[in-house]
Structure 1
Amino acid sequence: MLRSIGGEPPNTRPAKIAVVGGGSTYTPELIDGFARLRDTLPIGELVLIDPSEERLALVGGLARRIFAKQGHDGKIVTTSDVDAGVADADAVLLQLRVGGQAARNQDETWPLECGCVGQETTGAGGLAKALRTVPVVLDIAERVRRTNPDAWIIDFTNPVGIVTRALLQAGHKAVGLCNVAIGFQRRFAKFLDVAPADVHLRHVGLNHLTWETGVHIGGPEGADLLPKVLAEHGDELADDLRLPREVLDRLGVVPSYYLRYFYAHDEVVRELGTKPSRAAEVAEMEKQLLRMYGDPSLDTKPELLAKRGGAFYSEAAVDLAASLLGGTGSPYQVVNTLNRGTLPFLPDDAVIEVQAAVGTQGATPLAVPEVDPLFAGLISHVTAYEDLALEAALRGGRDRVFKALLSHPLIGQFEYAEALTDKLIAHNREHLAWA
């Protein structure tokens, strides 16, 4: 599906979309979005790819029933063969989890033994996930390139910033996607009683390390209503972010909820030590969801799925795929892409998460006003960590893992980095070819 030129209407030829990790319990959320938003992204064939045939049968069956219920005539195919699944695809979505919830549970627990936050995308747990994930994603991307070099790769696999940088560094046609920004967009639209499409965020930072520094209405140059949002809805936002209202007022921005791991690290560590891991909760939820998916009478996504996470993922994915493939997606979207001078204090090849103009040529970041040193310093620090994390993921070795851990602002002490290095390798040996 290619964008026409010269002001002509877009070509709405139905696309072929492949989803690697299609057996995920997330997938019905994606399917629901594909069905509801079929005018934005017409789909002729949808391929769900997953190594688990059991999950594919359950998720694929529900996916077909959702399409049928909503009158979508697209064909849904399931396969465990990556090469066959991505062949002739216009776009390939990556939403995989190497090691499953069991590996995530480890990521969220063993760092706590050293008094460091246990989380699947940041800190020591986030590094472990990157080390497991990057080689697998690059292998899949090479298969896509050999089979179908024109396909776009949309990465929703965490840690999105590091994974997207690995893909772009290897020369793949890739854009990273996260649902944090679209969640804020929808929230602010409700606060301001406007359509979500009218809310343009000045969203600045790295994946899972971002701040909303402006809320513009009608486009990038529209009126900035962030002060109004903070004044009228600061208490509600602070409660949701689990940060004191004073933090929002003194910063004058709305931080991502992932900033709580930085702004209230010790408090979070204490909390995590008193309850089951999020991975354990999700694993139980997934068992329930898969049982539901097996019910032949179920033809809508169940309400329980909303508790699984990934709110508005489907809308963001549809919008991005439609724009990349020349359809009617939004011209401006928050994505993960190369910096290329947008944030002058970072290297050009860093991957940042900002508003960008998105089209068939990819994503081009919009200009960003000067970033407050309070935020720029942390962005720079985490970018340096991501450099070292990617080097460890690509080349392996205990010393590279240690350096990445030592560089992370949530670790930063020699004793902790030494202990965490040993724990990381011990818990992930089966996924690390060099260990």
Structure 2
Amino acid sequence: MKLAVVGGGSTYTPELVDGFARLRDTLPVSELVLIDPATDRLEPVGRLARRIFAREGHSARITTTADLDAGVEGADAVLLQLRVGGQEARAEDEAWPLECGCVGQETTGAGGLAKALRTVPVVLDIAERVRHRSPNAWIIDFTNPVGIVTRALLRAGHRAVGLCNVAIHLQRKFAGLLNVDPEQVHLDHYGLNHLTWELGVRLGGPGGPDVLPQLLGEHGPRIAEELHLPFPVLDRLGVVPSYYLRYYYAHDDVVDEMRTKPSRASEVAAMEERLLRMYADPALDRKPELLAKRGGAFYSEAAVALAAALLGGRTTPASTEPGQSGTGAAGGAVQVVNTVNNGTLPFLPDDAVVEVPALVTAGGARPLPAPDLDPLYAGLVTHVTGYEDLALEAALHGGRNRVFKALLAHPLIGQYTLAEELTDRLLAHNREHLGWL
């Protein structure tokens, strides 16, 4: 089994490699290719990856290359984890929206649109080259904004599933609070990427008893603190919103906070410098603890579970450990993924991409039946889906007016004077990445 990682020079990669090494019985990788044009980062990451595999006694061959076509040749699955423009572009995404009184964030609001505009054309080019070199390969997209990028891939006919670590992070968090094994916890996790709510937390599987009221009753303040939301909000809603809902539920407070604190981009950039120095140490043969603060917790477990299910590698009950809720049927696994709606949330278009529990098999991801979504959540999901439609059109076809319409449609913007100003700033800061300019 050959896997390729596009963006292999990312500081995330040792997290992924650690999962491949530990969980080789679930995902029997024989060849791993790390692909990245930034060879100054790729080489130390690649050497560390080989040391991690050697420490775990894994026999797979690990290679590095800047040649995308050669790297994906014959791959069974290709994982995408790239950042067009690097941390420098992220820093700008976080800064210029704040100048207009809007949240500056890499996946939400105006900054998220900028990232989508930069990213979608690059990802589609990569996917076409994968299709030419490895037509049967699955593409696993971890590249933000995952929902929009995955929708672009699916619309173009690629074999793709989107992946985010929010669900598995909450699953592991809840399992710890309940003192049960993670595979016993199933999340009723519904919405869009970075716009989801845990409507239930079930023990034993999708049909198990809902212990969410118990979790909120016994651990509500602790959960709320981690989400940076007041506990009374969770208590009144009776659900657990994702961390990203704070940008909607407390927008103005978050803007004030962002104006007074160091940006996340600056924190991550400093952390990456330290991590790359660590990776260059020939004595290091495991992922460093600092990596946990970089983000992407449990990314490797989620990626292994998804790749194993798509490639038919999940064959025994013991292999349920990496997943988010365990085995389904015919070797598949139930996992929270980003996939085509197809009536799952009936108030959305069939071709929308939703983030929901799905049975994942070698044939792809098939969402489980969804509960009726309260209008409080369905309304926001519908609104953001409309924005994502327009964002994808802007990313695919360019044009200032398309950018303006997407910004005007976003629920965190919605005023034409603000959308005009944000459009000007977005284009000014992203000129080098937008070929149509």
Partner in structure 2 of residue 52 of structure 1: 38
Match for 1:157: what amino acid?
T
Q: 2 CA distance for matches of 1:194 and 1:277? A: 36
Match for 1:327: what amino acid?
G
Match for 1:352: what amino acid?
V
Partner in structure 2 of residue 396 of structure 1: 398
What is the CA distance between 1:193 and its match in structure 2? 1.5
Q: 2 CA distance for matches of 1:281 and 1:219? A: 38
Q: 2 CA distance for matches of 1:250 and 1:183? A: 23
Q: 1 CA distance for matches of 2:421 and 2:141? A: 31
Partner in structure 1 of residue 62 of structure 2: 76
1:102 aligned onto 2:104: no
1:271 aligned onto 2:257: yes
Correspondent of 2:172 among 150, 169, 186? 186
Partner in structure 1 of residue 267 of structure 2: 281
Partner in structure 2 of residue 10 of structure 1: none
Partner in structure 1 of residue 307 of structure 2: 321
Match for 1:180: what amino acid?
V
Q: 2 CA distance for matches of 1:304 and 1:203? A: 29
Partner in structure 2 of residue 12 of structure 1: none
Partner in structure 1 of residue 29 of structure 2: 43
Correspondent of 1:381 among 363, 380, 383? 383
Q: 1 CA distance for matches of 2:177 and 2:90? A: 35
Partner in structure 2 of residue 85 of structure 1: 71
Q: How does 1:217-366 map to 2 (within 5 A)?
A: 217-328=203-314, 330=326, 331-366=333-368
The structure 1 segments of at least 4 consecutive aligned residues displaced by more than 3 Å after TM superposition are none
Match for 2:349: what amino acid?
P
Q: 2 CA distance for matches of 1:314 and 1:79? A: 21
Q: 2 CA distance for matches of 1:296 and 1:183? A: 31
Match for 2:407: what amino acid?
L
What is the CA distance between 1:195 and its match in structure 2? 1.0
Match for 2:60: what amino acid?
G
Match for 1:177: what amino acid?
L
1:417 aligned onto 2:419: yes
1:123 aligned onto 2:109: yes
Partner in structure 2 of residue 11 of structure 1: none
2:413 aligned counterpart, secondary structure = coil
Partner in structure 2 of residue 7 of structure 1: none
Partner in structure 1 of residue 200 of structure 2: 214
Q: 2 CA distance for matches of 1:246 and 1:345? A: 29
CA RMSD of aligned residues (A): 0.6
Q: 2 CA distance for matches of 1:187 and 1:52? A: 35
Q: 1 CA distance for matches of 2:23 and 2:261? A: 39
1:286-305 Cα distance to aligned partner (Å, 9 max, x none):
01110111011110111111
What is the CA distance between 1:277 and its match in structure 2? 1.1
Match for 1:289: what amino acid?
L
1:204 aligned counterpart, secondary structure = strand
Q: 1 CA distance for matches of 2:262 and 2:399? A: 31
1:100-132 Cα distance to aligned partner (Å, 9 max, x none):
000000000000000000000010000000000
Match for 2:303: what amino acid?
A
1:352-395 Cα distance to aligned partner (Å, 9 max, x none):
00000000000000001100000000000000000000000000
Q: 2 CA distance for matches of 1:389 and 1:57? A: 35
1:173 aligned onto 2:159: yes
Match for 2:210: what amino acid?
D
1:32 aligned onto 2:14: no
Q: 1 CA distance for matches of 2:216 and 2:436? A: 49
1:167 aligned counterpart, secondary structure = helix
What is the CA distance between 1:194 and its match in structure 2? 1.3
Q: 2 CA distance for matches of 1:429 and 1:307? A: 32
Q: 2 CA distance for matches of 1:291 and 1:201? A: 38
1:43 aligned counterpart, secondary structure = coil
Correspondent of 1:432 among 418, 431, 434? 434
Q: 2 CA distance for matches of 1:43 and 1:374? A: 44
Match for 1:51: what amino acid?
P
What is the CA distance between 1:218 and its match in structure 2? 0.8
Partner in structure 2 of residue 20 of structure 1: 6
What is the CA distance between 1:165 and its match in structure 2? 0.1
Question: TM-score, normalization: structure 1?
Answer: 0.96
Q: 1 CA distance for matches of 2:226 and 2:279? A: 30
1:357 aligned counterpart, secondary structure = strand
What is the CA distance between 1:196 and its match in structure 2? 0.7
1:408 aligned onto 2:410: yes
What is the CA distance between 1:36 and its match in structure 2? 0.6
2:208 aligned counterpart, secondary structure = coil
Query: What runs of 5+ residues in structure 1 fail to find an aligned partner?
Result: 1-14
Match for 2:409: what amino acid?
S
What is the CA distance between 1:276 and its match in structure 2? 1.9
